[in-house]
């Protein structure tokens, strides 16, 4: 049974497409406000050492908190990168836990530091409502 659980999605193309949680389109359709973090794979050192700089990393984070609402990667080994974000989402960790982690260097998952250190943009959906995070519901 998958009700209420995150279902990961990976398309094994070149480069791979992987995602978990909400996409921008889904968030807008549901009226969910979010902060958008996005970087090109050129900003990930391991991608440069592999000469695999096509693609991007993108994450949606709640506006009034730090919980990750969704993640998409279009990159070499995107499914592997997504698995780290999925684990954080399952544990209810804030995005800052991934940003502040000490990852092996150079690795693709280390790109999460650059992603979550980038300047986020706010959703443009003016009718969007902040999502109540699981941490707020448990207070």
Six token digits for residue 81: 């990168």
Residue among 5, 25, 105, 137 flagged as catalytic: 105
Quick one: which H or E segment has residue 24? helix 24-30
Give first-to-last CA distance, the chain, whole Å: 27
For residue 138, how many C-alpha atoms fall within 13 Å in the half-sphere facing its CB?
Answer: 4
105 is catalytic: yes
List the catalytic residues: 105
């Amino acid at each position: 049974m998958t009700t209420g659980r995150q279902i990961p999605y990976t398309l094994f193309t070149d480069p791979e497409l992987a995602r978990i949680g909400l996409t921008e389109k889904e968030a807008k359709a549901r009226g969910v406000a979010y902060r958008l973090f996005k970087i090109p794979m050129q900003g990930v050192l391991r991608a440069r050492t592999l000469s695999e700089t096509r693609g991007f990393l993108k994450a949606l984070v709640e506006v009034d908190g730090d919980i990750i609402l969704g993640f998409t990667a279009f990159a070499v080994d995107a499914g592997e990168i997504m698995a780290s974000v999925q684990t954080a989402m399952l544990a209810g960790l804030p995005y800052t836990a991934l940003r502040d982690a000490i990852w092996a260097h150079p690795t693709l998952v280390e790109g999460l530091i650059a992603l979550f250190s980038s300047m986020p943009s706010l959703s443009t959906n003016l009718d969007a409502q902040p999502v109540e995070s699981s941490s707020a519901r448990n207070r």
